[in-house]
Chain A
Amino acid sequence: MAEKTITGTSWNVYDANTMSAREIYGRVMRELAKTNDKIVGVTADLEKSTNIGIFGKDFPDRMFNVGIAEQNLFGVAAGLAKVGLIPFASTFAVFAALRGAEQVRTDICYQNLPVKIIGTHGGISFGQAGSTHHCTEDIAIMKSFPNMTVIVPADGFETGKAVEACLDIPGPVYIRVGRGFEPPFHKDHNFDFEIGKGQLVKDGTDVTIITCGIGVLQSVNAAKELQEVDGISVRVINIHTIKPIDKEIILKAVKETRRIVTVEEHSIIGGLGDSVAAVIAESGKGCAFTKLGLNDEFAVVGYPEDLYAHYKLDSSGIADSIRAIMGKEFEADEDWSDEV
């Protein structure tokens, strides 16, 4: 099989439909490194699993594998950045957000260093591996660190865009991707991507789904089903950047649809849903609101598609939740007797 390639003056992922986010990330990084000699790679025995090895193969002198040692991984990345390099540090999301969390916070965020952290196998995308390898807390942890930008791309195309765009951020960036078997949402690379700017992917007037990662494709599919079967007009917003969050697109949806559902492959505590909830609460405006995700629990074992169905993060699960929220009205009245 011929090697899948990226071509173009900068880069152009023309066959991303058959490539995982991880593969694309390694390739985009390799392309960027050709013109930016400050880019280096660091990993902790996951050169192959996270696909940063694609970069390392072409730039062996700029690729460092520190072995199974995630504290050292992020300390080393900080040191590389301190002398003027731009390290991409790659490991599973769970090890970035938990095993190496203090180094990420204190060595990287406190010193505001341009370390780009790629957390693969995020959420429950490595479902069969069990909770030791799931990560449904990383968004909560990473977004709480000052200086950190947090991005959860919808698919491989968007991962490529995020990897390129993160170079323009002078500080640390966390990009969370899945294991690589997630179907793409975008058809090609011809779309605008701006860090901190949500993308309206489908307009609608009855309810808005605000989502990221795998939730984008599933939500769009749910929206189609709801339109066809129930006549519900669903707006879908892909809010790939969790921090800084795009307040404007959220409040516009609150105003225009008055029902908001957030969908994320993460705990409902501290993730996208809570970021959206805070924006709504601080605005002083009200709406019907539901968060979909892992409900303060460790996920069961299973292949990801079965888990997404089980936790109602697939299109039919999302559609069911939308039907439920359609029965909930935003109440602007002063009657609290039915609330408590």
Chain B
Amino acid sequence: MSKLSIDELKAKAKELRTLIIDTTVWAGSGHYGGALSSADILTALYFRFLNIDPANPDWDDRDRFILSKGHSGIGFIPCLHLRGYFPVDELKNFNHFMSPFGMHPDCKKVKGCDASTGSLGHGLPMGVGMALGAKVLKKDFKTVVLLGDGECNEGSNYEAMMAASHYKLTNLIAIVDRNGFMIDGPTETVMGLEPFADKWEAFGWTVYECDGHNMQELCDTLDKAWANDTGKPVAIIAKTVKGKGVSFLEGDVRSHYGAFDSAQAEQAKQDIANM
């Protein structure tokens, strides 16, 4: 697949957002707030940056992606469908009996998923292992880990951050979806993360900050991360809006998890169309 242009990526991100709404309806409920905040990041990765082959999901040399914020499976799994891993019909059973797709992605069942996640603070350590493994195997694939910001309360992330810089894992990219909310409220109210970029820097990472909804800026930042000549692992703090694209969800803590009635789903899709 050729890499999509910025305009094509913007259109693809709208398609993904619309599918997140549909999938939430099919599933009955979902963590749509964090899925919508990640939608542009996922689109940029899957349609421009990750070197993958949906026809050969276990290809040894593929780039690896770990959705550490596993509750955004309702954004990630539709993205895998759009990228060609499985037909849309499979999404219609999301969350239901014997579906390969539950709230949190299971890599034994989801084609194209490189790691099972859901419990927070697990993605980055596994990403460190994959990046170290690439070195042992003398392969040049990248490992990309998408974290939630609230997730960065978990101590295991800091263990992994230390190890990543100690082992100079320039093949590892951490992206934080900095939407500013966790279940109980704003991150800075529940358990403050700031100065957040300083924390990553202090742990030996190269840190870039960008607007996680500005496709051009996002791609420029990912270009730098991919080319990484800093000798350190790269963290991207992508500033995002929880529920991005849906007027009645944006920036509202209640957008973390829930269900849509048919009117809300229509309104949401209309909002996305007008983005």
Contact = CB atoms under 8 A, between A and B. Distances in A.
Interface of A: 40, 61-62, 64, 66-67, 69, 71-72, 74-85, 87, 102-103, 106-107, 110-112
B152 interface: no
B114 interface: yes
Q: Give the residue among B107, B126, B136, B156 with the most A Cβ atoms within 10 A.
A: B126
A111 B116 CA distance: 7
A78 to B, nearest CB: 5
Interface in B82-124: 106-108, 114-116, 118-119, 121-122, 124
B231 interface: no
B22 to A, nearest CB: 28
Contacts of A40: 133, 136
Contact of A67 (B119, B156, B163): B163
Interface residues of A, dominant DSSP: helix
B129 A80 contact: yes
Given A71-B156, A111-B115, A79 B162 contact: no
A79 B125 contact: yes
B130 interface: yes
Contact of B60 (A84, A103, A110): A84
Nearest to A87: B129
Given A75-B124, A85-B137, A111-B107, 13 more contacts: A40-B133, A62-B136, A64-B163, A69-B159, A72-B160, A76-B125, A76-B163, A78-B125, A79-B129, A103-B156, A107-B122, A110-B116, A111-B115
A80 B132 contact: yes
B155 A76 contact: no
A107 B131 CA distance: 16
A83 to B, nearest CB: 4
Interface in B126-147: 126-137, 139, 143
A69 B158 CA distance: 9
A252 to B, nearest CB: 37
A76 B129 contact: yes
B167 to A, nearest CB: 7
Contacts of B160: 72, 75-76
A79 B130 contact: yes
Contacts of B135: 61
A78 B159 contact: no
Nearest to B163: A66
Given A75-B122, A84-B60, A111 B159 contact: no
A40 B127 CA distance: 16
Interface residues of B, number: 36
A75 B137 contact: no
Given A69-B159, A111-B108, A75 B128 contact: yes
B81 interface: no
A107 B106 CA distance: 11
A183 to B, nearest CB: 37
A172 to B, nearest CB: 14
B256 interface: no
Interface of B: 60, 64, 106-108, 114-116, 118-119, 121-122, 124-137, 139, 143, 155-156, 159-160, 162-163, 166-167
A74 to B, nearest CB: 8
A262 to B, nearest CB: 34
B108 A112 contact: yes
13 contacts: A40-B133, A66-B163, A72-B156, A72-B160, A75-B126, A75-B128, A75-B160, A76-B129, A78-B129, A79-B127, A79-B133, A83-B64, A84-B137
A69 B154 CA distance: 13
A67 B137 CA distance: 23
Contacts of B64: 82-83
A80 B129 CA distance: 5
Contacts of A71: 121, 125, 155-156, 159
A83 B163 contact: no
B133 A82 contact: yes
A107 B126 contact: yes
A329 to B, nearest CB: 50
Nearest to B155: A71
Nearest to A106: B119
Contacts of B136: 40, 61-62, 80, 85
A103 B133 contact: no
A72 B143 CA distance: 16
B128 A106 contact: no
Contact of A82 (B124, B126, B159): B126
B126 A79 contact: yes
Given A77-B129, A111-B108, A64 B134 contact: no
Contact of A76 (B60, B108, B119, B128): B128
A87 B129 CA distance: 10
B108 A83 contact: no
Given A72-B159, A111-B116, A112-B108, A64 B126 contact: no
B137 A83 contact: yes
Contacts of A78: 115, 125-126, 129
B163 A72 contact: yes
B122 A79 contact: no
A67 B160 CA distance: 10
